[in-house]
Amino acid sequence: GQQLNQSPQSMFIQEGEDVSMNCTSSSIFNTWLWYKQDPGEGPVLLIALYKAGELTSNGRLTAQFGITRKDSFLNISASIPSDVGIYFCAGQLVQGAQKLVFGQGTRLTINP
């Protein structure tokens, strides 16, 4: 099946640091989405990107839809303890019906 390569797999940072993670694929996507999952809960949508080159912010979060439509990144500025969790990228392929493909996730741990 289609794959999204998400990196890094895990991050250990100090509170207040900035965070950057990305997803790449060999396939072209119509949509890129970024989700966050807290323990014991389902993923929650953070940012949705619909156009190549689009740069969107949501508070301290910024995400971009790559120009080639094969990649996306998510940045978190000035991290706080509640940013802890697993972050997933997801992409909707150009072809076919709803085939939302997920990355493997980035587990973020913050040391206070």
Residues 30-69 that bind another protein (CB under 8 A): 31, 33, 35, 40-45, 48
- Can residue 73 be called a binding residue for another protein (CB under 8 A)? no
# of chain residues touching another protein (CB under 8 A): 25
- Can residue 99 be called a binding residue for another protein (CB under 8 A)? yes
Which residues neighbour 96 within 8 Å (Cβ) at sequence distance 6 or greater? none
List the structure tokens of 13: 């940072």
DSSP letter at 3 equals: -
Between 80 and 100, whose beta carbon lies closer to another protein?
100
Between 9 and 17, whose beta carbon lies closer to another protein?
9
Q: What are the two backbone dihedrals, phi and then psi, of residue 79, each rounded to the nearest 5 degrees? A: -55, 145
